[in-house]
């Protein structure tokens, strides 16, 4: 597989996912939409494992990894789908794009990884300022908008916690096994939620919602992760960091063009602060090290 094509594919899939999430819930409801997506995604992952003759491991560490991944998938995606009902799809991508920052912060505390320095703190401060700006606009937009943004922010926290938890478990498993195992854990929770909170099959599923669910199940839950981890395996981690920077911008543009979403200038400003903070957090320390090396050589 071509690495540049995989890189572009991952960006396109993750950029279109927020809009597809919004479309998929219009008609059947968000619980049915996310449950159906996870069912398709789980079956897709199991089918791919069968094709590549992979397997799910069942030792203790593997089970702990599946639980950590599965609870993250269930909690994060439930919050995203609920929150996406009340805010533009592009804004979902911007807020969820904070994942790398939160994951790095949690890893420095929980896993004792490379700690925070002044540059990273500046990046976090810029991202936090962007959130304040966006939430300030949400207050003027109404209570539902604020709740929607808080829900997506909670999804970001849950996803980051799950990622660090999986890393903490330290099971040496193939990525496909962890993804599939996590979906196997999450799927019963989704189906139970649908039975308890809804339990009725939709009388009609609009074509847009149906194809969005299929797209998210096959591409958002399966192909997107495969492409992302393929790129991560073949490209420097710093370049992979471009993906969560590019996708929010594309998602905002797609929301405007395809869903006629109105994005106030203040939200663009807040999004810019968040992306600036992510850039500083991601590459600031590296640029400083390179600058020091150049100064020493001179």
Q: Is residue 292 part of a domain?
A: no
Local confidence pLDDT in tens for the 298 residues of the chain: 677 788 888 889 989 999 999 999 998 899 999 999 999 999 999 999 888 888 888 999 999 999 999 999 999 999 999 999 999 998 999 898 888 888 888 888 887 766 667 787 888 888 889 888 888 876 667 788 899 999 999 999 998 899 889 888 877 888 788 889 999 999 999 999 999 988 788 888 999 999 999 999 999 888 887 787 677 667 665 566 677 778 888 998 899 899 988 888 888 898 899 888 888 887 766 666 666 655 555 5
Q: Is residue 275 part of a domain?
A: yes
pTM (two decimals)? 0.88
Q: Is residue 97 part of a domain?
A: yes
CA–CA dist 146, 134 (Å, integer) = 9
Q: Is residue 297 part of a domain?
A: no
Q: Is residue 295 part of a domain?
A: no
What is the number of domains present in the chain?
1
Q: Is residue 123 part of a domain?
A: yes
CA–CA dist 56, 62 (Å, integer) = 8
The boundaries of the domain holding residue 50 are 3-287
Q: Is residue 298 part of a domain?
A: no
Q: Can you read off the two tokens belonging to residue 11?
A: 């960006």
Q: Is residue 138 part of a domain?
A: yes
């Amino acid at each position: 597989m071509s690495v540049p094509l995989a890189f572009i594919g991952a960006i396109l899939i993750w950029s279109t996912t927020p809009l597809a999430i919004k479309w998929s819930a219009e008609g059947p409801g968000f619980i049915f939409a996310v449950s159906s997506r996870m069912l398709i995604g789980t079956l897709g992952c199991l089918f791919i494992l069968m094709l590549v003759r992979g397997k799910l491991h069942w030792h203790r560490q593997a089970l702990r990894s599946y639980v950590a991944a599965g609870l993250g998938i269930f909690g994060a995606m439930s919050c995203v789908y609920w929150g996406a009902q009340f805010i533009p799809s592009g804004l979902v991508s911007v807020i969820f794009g904070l994942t790398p920052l939160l994951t790095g912060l949690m890893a420095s505390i929980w896993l004792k990884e490379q700690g925070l320095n002044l540059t990273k703190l500046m990046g976090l401060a810029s991202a936090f300022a962007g959130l304040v700006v966006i939430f300030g606009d949400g207050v003027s937009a109404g209570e539902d908008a604020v709740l929607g943004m808080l829900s997506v922010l909670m999804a970001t926290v849950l996803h980051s916690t799950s990622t660090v938890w999986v890393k903490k478990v330290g099971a040496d498993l193939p990525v496909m096994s962890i993804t599939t195992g996590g979906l196997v854990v999450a799927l019963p929770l989704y189906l139970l939620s649908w039975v308890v909170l809804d339990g009725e099959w939709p009388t009609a599923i609009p074509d847009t919602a149906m194809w969005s669910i299929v797209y998210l199940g096959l591409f958002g839950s399966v192909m997107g992760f495969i492409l992302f981890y393929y790129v991560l395996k073949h490209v420097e981690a710093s370049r992979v960091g471009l993906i969560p920077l590019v996708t929010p911008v594309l998602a905002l543009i797609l929301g405007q063009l395809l869903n006629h979403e109105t994005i106030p200038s203040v939200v663009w400003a807040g999004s810019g602060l968040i992306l600036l903070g992510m850039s500083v957090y991601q590459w600031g320390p590296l640029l400083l090290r390179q600058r020091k090396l150049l100064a020493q050589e001179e």
